[in-house]
Chain A
Amino acid sequence: MTTTAQQDAPRVRTRRRRSSDRGVNRAFRITATGAGALILAVLAAVAIFLVIEAWPSISAGSETLAESISWFPEDANLLTFVGPLVFGTLLGSALAMLIAVPLAIGIALFISHYAPRRMAQALGYVIDLLAAIPSVVYGLWGAIVVTPVVQPVWEWLSSTLGWIPLFAGPAANPARVMLTVAVVLAVMILPIITAVSREVFLQTPRLHEEAALALGATRWEMIRTAVLPFARSGIISASMLGLGRALGETMAVLMILSPGAMYSFAVLQAGQQQTIAANIAAQYPEASGLGVSTLIATGLALFVITMAVNMAARAIVARRKDFSGAN
């Protein structure tokens, strides 16, 4: 804490420092530092063990893979096998984010700045409770309730906007397609993004808000000029949390989507895309040996993607350092 200021530090301070880094104090500091280092070790371990277990598949030739794994396509290698899965994962998550982020910001604003105070708290509870609904329940709900409801809507989309490649028809019936998955994923990540954004919105300094209002700003202008800029990094980190969940979401995709392995933007047609996570869960129970190894290799790809996404986000957002309520 005071390494740089050792020379000109007052005497009292130096005395405390001298006695401070001994015995229990030292042990405590080392333990805490060790815990911090352990986080890095865990993350490294995740990568290392995944690589170890994926290695047989990575080092095996494509013929070996195709021969010993029944679901491995002929004349493909590991990269051409993972490629479409990566594409499907990104497409699904991107669509989900497109739907969820604006909606979540709206909801968070509603709770933090529009709803009456007393109601706001209750609404906050509701959203929080829904943030914790297990993904398997969303999967059940998506497969049984949502699919039939959205089918006519997709039908309409494909017939009116079919010239856009994304909505190319014919719309599948039943609607076990990527757009349905994206809608359910959006619902799933909505509460998380909302909860985090709301917390950030509520932390907007009251003075900033009142200053904006005092300058004659409307409520929306106050939000745009005071709340949103203050919360921008919070919103991004909230979205990242949501994106992490969407990228890795398994059960809902597994239970809703008709999988396929193509580089296809047709999100209204069945059997076009598949995500990495759902593919792992689908094949894993009956995989053995090289099959498990290949699935772990795809998991490694997912891990790398999420790492990259998060790192990119971190690079964009300079982390707000001085967040201490005391300062």
Chain B
Amino acid sequence: MTATTASPQPAAPRSDRSDEVRKALRTVDTGRRRKDRAMQVVVYVAFALAVIPLISVAWTVLSNGIERFDWYFLTHSMRGVFGGMDAGGIYHAIVGTFEITLGATIISVPIGILTAIYLVEYGRGSLARSVTFFVDVMTGIPSIVAGLFAYALFAVFFGPGISMGIMGSIALSVLMIPVVVRSTEEMLKLVPNELREASYALGVPKWLTIVKVVLRTATAGIVTGVMLAVARVIGETAPLLITVGVIDSINFNLFDGRMMTLPVYVYRQYSQGYVPCNDASAVCIPEINFDRAWAAALTLILIVMVLNILARLVSRYFSPKIR
């Protein structure tokens, strides 16, 4: 960068004068330089400060969770497990998290992408302005309110006290839609207008242009956005606690009965606390609930990380180079 600053001096009449100018440009007076240095330190310190809790979280989860994290843990449910038994896993929670998140994705991706298309390709006038505005507002909806909404929606139609997986999907999709809209919108805007115009010039109808040219050009970005949105909602606890409840057996049916999900599982295990272990004859681990909580947290973090890394890879290797 310093090279760029110093180079454009070709028209200087005399060489020693140009050297002077160059020197003046390069040397900054001490006050400004000190301020520059100070800000550099501030910025470095800010980063260091952020890294401390981040490492702490990662280390705590990893060191506490790795012990119980194995194949058995991943592929068994909690049915019939009680007390300090050395048993039980998170298969039912993985199933629940997978299905509920998938449901949320199926609901929110079409709506999100179509809305983004509307905003970028069609949207003019007051409707578009208000959609843009309210999508922004929607990003600020607290997750627990989304959960209450899903509860209220089903309570109105099915009576109070109901809980099933799809309620969780709806709650999560309320959180997911604005994220998908925003990321897709940004991606569609990045598609050069020349591409659209070229397509129109060839007589391709607008909808086909959008599907075949605009969307395909933006695919990688959209996929990345969706994956990040999934990663964002997959760890939501509060709305699922309210809508989907808890269960200790496997439930594959999204439309009937409670389901367990990973974040709720973590919270439940944590809040069950220590096991008394009064019976010396049985196998009993006092801190089994905490172990399971940490191991489930580790699983959850790994899932989210994999999603993030995949999203990164998709955007890195498959997106067309525009800049």
Contacts and interface: CB of A to CB of B under 8 A. Distances in A.
- Note whether A and B contact each other (Cβ less than 8 A): yes
Contacts of B57: 130, 133, 137-138, 141, 187
Nearest to A199: B186
A9 interface: no
Question: Taking each of B33, B111, B161, B307, which has the highest tally of chain A beta carbons within 10 Å of its own beta carbon?
Answer: B111
A275 B124 CA distance: 40
A3 B186 CA distance: 25
B148 to A, nearest CB: 4
Interface in B1-30: 1-2, 4-5, 8, 24-25, 28
B145 A302 contact: yes
Given A248-B141, A314-B136, A324-B193, A52 B237 contact: no
B115 A213 contact: no
B10 to A, nearest CB: 14
B139 A250 contact: no
A281 B240 CA distance: 11
Interface in B109-140: 110-111, 114-115, 117-119, 121-124, 127-128, 130-140
Interface residues of B, number: 115
Given A42-B174, A46-B174, A132-B304, A243 B140 contact: yes
Contact of A36 (B5, B33, B119, B267): B119
Given A16-B200, A49-B152, A292 B160 contact: yes
B198 interface: no
A245 B128 CA distance: 26
A109 interface: yes
A20 interface: yes
Given A52-B156, A145-B56, A319-B132, A107 B46 contact: yes
A173 B200 CA distance: 69
B131 A40 contact: yes
Interface in A195-251: 210, 213-214, 216, 218-221, 223, 237, 240-241, 243-245, 247-251
Interface string B232-253: 1011111001100000000000
A299 B33 contact: no
Given A40-B131, A42-B174, A134 B263 contact: yes
Question: Which secondary structure characterizes the binding site on chain B?
Answer: helix
Interface residues of A, number: 109
Sorted from nearest, which 9 A-B pairs have the closest CB atoms?
A: A248-B142, A134-B235, A106-B46, A35-B114, A244-B140, A28-B207, A250-B238, A218-B36, A32-B118
21 contacts: A36-B123, A36-B128, A39-B115, A42-B138, A107-B43, A125-B312, A132-B235, A132-B304, A134-B235, A136-B235, A137-B235, A137-B266, A140-B266, A219-B40, A244-B140, A250-B238, A277-B142, A280-B144, A292-B160, A324-B193, A325-B322
Given A39-B138, A307-B140, 14 more contacts: A24-B207, A33-B118, A37-B127, A38-B111, A46-B146, A102-B46, A110-B44, A110-B47, A134-B304, A141-B56, A219-B40, A221-B32, A251-B263, A251-B267
